[in-house]
Structure formats: C-alpha cells, structure tokens
C-alpha cells in the first residue's frame, strides 16, 4: 500500500523560499532541498504556503501539516514543541542599515587604536631623537643647534623628520661623532617606522573609501526603532539589546519600513539580507560586518514523528554525496 503524500507547509524569505505567495509551488533553497530529501525518502508531498515561520510550526503542532520547511531556526524553545532535523544550513543574525558617508565615518578609520598609538609613539621618539641630537651637538655645532632648548630641540626634531621622510634638506647636519651616531641609528630605525606607518595609513585610506552602515553593532540598537519579523529570533534580539521593535510581516516589509524612514535598521538572518541586496544592488543600504546569534536551520516535524529518522538519513546522504552543497551554491553562490 502506497504511503500518503506528506503535507508540507512552507514559510520564510528568499533565498530559502522564493516566489509569489499565491504561487502553487514556491521555489528556493529550502524547497529544492526538501524535494531532494523527499526523493531520498521515496515520499510524495503536497505543499501549502504559510504566512510566517511561527504559523508553519503551529500547523505542525496542531497536526495540520507533517513537515514545516524553510529557514527555520533551531532553538531550545521551539525544540520543546516540535522535533527538528539536523541542521542543513548554518546562519547568523546581521544588522541592515542605511549606508553612512558622514565626515566622521570617513575619518574614523584613521582613528583606530593602532594608528593613534603609533602616531603618539612616533611623536615621542621624534622628540627623544631631537633632544639627543641637541645634547650631542649644542657645544660643537651651535649654528645648527643653538643653546636654547626650544630652538635646539626643535632643530633636532626637524632633522629627524627630514631624515625619516628621506628628503634630507641638508640645512641641519650633525658634526660630532655622537651626533652622527645618533643620526645614523635613526636613519635605520626610520626606514622601518616609515614603512609601518605607510602601511597603516594605506589601509585606513582604503577603509575610508568604503561605505559603512549607520548602525554597525548591536549596542547601537538601544533606543532606536528597529524592524524585524515578529515572533522570531530577530525580534527577540532587538528587544534584548534595547531596541524599539517595529514588527514586520516579513523581510521585504521590514526593508520597506526602513527605506520609508519608519525604522532606522533591520535585524534579520544574514543569508536573506545578502540575497536581497544582491537582487537590489542599487539600494543605498549596507549590512554590518558583525555577526550575532549563530543558528542552524532545520526542517520541523511533530514530537515523536516517525519521519524524523528517515529525514535525517536523507539529509546525511545528500550531504555526503555533495548534492546539499550544490543546492546551497546554486542559490547563494558561495
């Protein structure tokens, strides 16, 4: 006797679930992967769309569906109500915000701890070298290094700077043996110092040309209006970090609120944000580099469902054959 078709409920956002909600059969990474899993299980299935992930899980809990598929985060709270397959994809949360191009954002790369500390150390070393040159030269070379500490050390610093820059004006020259020894040592040290400083400034200059999001970290969410899908890991994350949650139906709705100025940022799963921006490259939005809440996506069935074991075996088979990775690459490109 043939097994009955599995009742599959689908929910989520691109690239895991793609297509108009009225379409009879959606597409997407999760949908394509489920089709491969069902084939391995030798089971037919019927697909029904759900408004969101929470509704899809409720359908499984209430026995209105056998399996819920999509970008469904595996959490402890959800695992008390449904059984999850092994993760088929590793994800994390990210922050989407308008690209920021303020003067402060352009200058910020030059104010890193490494550059500021390096500049202060260099200034101190220049003063030290200038002082040592003045002490060594003030008696034998008063023309270039006057007895006045201010003028003498100042001329020593000028000699150190011109030596470091490899310009070498020649207007200040040490004559004593100690002075020349100090200048010689400084020449060698300045070669390394100049190279390190140039590399740091080059990196900072490159970073200053890049756009960055106006909200770049979770601590900046406090007191801000932040969009997220209600009842999800994203919405809980917003509340945990002091943001004012503006609940959205899905990611497109959350982004629409952001673009209309009703919110200042969106928190969502990084793969979905990357896919959305790749499809809309003209949008003036950026994804923050910081990642939060590592999470796995899985398929959900009822607690105690006999489908769980065969579903996991099918997923392992697809992983070992490389077909799972091929499906992910087709939709995400990496």
Q: What's the whole-number mean pLDDT along residues 98-127? A: 69
Question: Above 60 in pLDDT, residue 62?
Answer: yes
Beta carbons of 287 and 93 less than 8 angstroms apart: no
How do residues 262-298 score in pLDDT, each as one tens digit? 999 999 999 999 898 888 888 889 999 899 999 999 9
Task: State the pLDDT at residue 279.
Answer: 86
Specify the domain boundaries for CATH 3.40.190.10 within the chain. Answer: 6-88+298-332, 96-101+214-293
User: Range(s) for CATH 1.10.287.70 in the chain?
Assistant: 107-208
Residue 107: pLDDT band with limits 50, 70, 90:
low
What percentage of the chain exceeds 70 in pLDDT? 84
What CATH number was assigned to the domain covering residues 107-208?
1.10.287.70
Q: Which range, of 40-49, 136-145, 186-195, averages the lowest pLDDT?
A: 186-195
Tell me if 34 sits within 8 A of 314, measured CB to CB. Answer: no
For residue 305, the model assigns a pLDDT of 96
Mean pLDDT of all residues belonging to the chain? 85
Spatial neighbors of 33 by CB under 8 A, at least 6 apart, are 88, 318, 324, 327
In 3-state terms, what secondary structure has residue 74? coil
Q: Does position 1 have pLDDT exceeding 50, yes or no? A: no
pLDDT at 101 exceeding the cut of 60: no
Which residue would you say has higher pLDDT here, 84 or 18? Answer: 84
pTM of structure: 0.61
State the alpha helices, DSSP H only, in the chain.
29-41, 53-61, 76-79, 103-107, 113-137, 149-164, 177-208, 233-240, 251-259, 270-279, 307-321, 323-332
What CATH number does the domain located at 96-101+214-293 have? 3.40.190.10
- The string of pLDDT tens digits covering residues 221-240 is 999 999 998 888 899 999 99
Predicted pLDDT of residue 210: 47
Q: What's the mean pLDDT in 72-101?
A: 92
Residue 112: what pLDDT? 66
β-pair type (89-100, 265-269): antiparallel
User: Which residues are 244's β-sheet partners?
Assistant: 225
Which of 127-136, 221-230, 324-333 is the least confident region?
A: 127-136
Summarize the confidence of residues 238-259 as an average pLDDT: 93
Angle at 187 between CA 182 and CA 190, to 5 degrees: 115
Tens-digit pLDDT profile for residues 20-30 = 766 667 899 99
Q: Which CATH code of 3.40.190.10, 3.10.129.10, 3.40.50.10470, 3.40.50.2300 fits the domain covering 6-88+298-332?
A: 3.40.190.10
Packing angle of the helix pair 307-321, 29-41 (nearest 10 deg): 110
Q: What pLDDT shows up at residue 109?
A: 59
Average pLDDT over residues 119-136: 80
**37 band by pLDDT with thresholds 50, 70 and 90:** very high
Whether the per-residue pLDDT at 182 is higher than 90: the answer is: no
Q: Average pLDDT in the 81-102 region?
A: 90
β-partners of residue 93 are: 269, 292
Most confident stretch, 36-50, 161-175, 179-193: 36-50
Q: Give residue 58's pLDDT.
A: 97
- pLDDT for 273 equals 93
């Amino acid at each position: 006797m043939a097994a009955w078709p599995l009742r599959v409920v689908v929910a989520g956002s691109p690239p895991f679930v793609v297509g108009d909600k009225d379409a009879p059969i959606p597409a997407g990474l999760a949908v394509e992967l489920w089709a491969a899993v069902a084939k391995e299980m030798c089971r037919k299935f019927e697909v029904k769309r759900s408004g969101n992930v929470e509704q899809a899980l409720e359908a499984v809990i209430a026995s209105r569906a056998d399996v819920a598929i999509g970008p469904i985060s595996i959490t402890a709270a959800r695992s008390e109500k449904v059984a999850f397959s092994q993760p088929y994809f590793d994800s994390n949360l990210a922050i989407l915000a308008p690209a920021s191009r303020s003067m402060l954002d352009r200058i910020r790369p030059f104010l890193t701890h490494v550059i500021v500390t390096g500049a202060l150390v260099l200034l101190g070393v220049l003063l030290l070298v200038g002082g040592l040159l003045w002490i060594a030269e003030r008696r034998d070379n008063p023309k270039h290094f006057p007895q006045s500490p201010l003028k003498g050390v100042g001329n020593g610093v000028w000699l150190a700077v011109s030596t470091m820059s490899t310009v070498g004006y020649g207007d200040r020259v040490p004559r004593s043996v100690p002075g020349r020894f100090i200048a010689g040592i400084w020449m060698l040290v300045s070669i390394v110092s100049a190279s390190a400083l140039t590399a740091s400034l080059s990196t900072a200059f490159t970073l200053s040309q890049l756009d960055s999001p106006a909200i770049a970290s979770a601590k900046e969410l406090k007191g801000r209006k932040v969009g997220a899908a209600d009842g999800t890991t994203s919405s809980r994350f917003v509340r945990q970090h002091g943001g004012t949650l503006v609940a959205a139906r899905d990611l497109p709705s959350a982004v629409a609120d952001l673009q209309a100025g009703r919110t200042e940022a969106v928190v969502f799963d990084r793969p979905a944000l990357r896919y959305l921006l790749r499809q809309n490259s003209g949008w003036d939005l950026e994804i923050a580099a910081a990642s939060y809440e590592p999470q796995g996506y899985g398929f959900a069935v009822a607690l105690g469902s006999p489908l769980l074991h065969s579903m996991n075996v099918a997923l392992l088979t697809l992983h070992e054959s490389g077909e799972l990775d091929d499906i992910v690459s087709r939709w995400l490109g990496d």
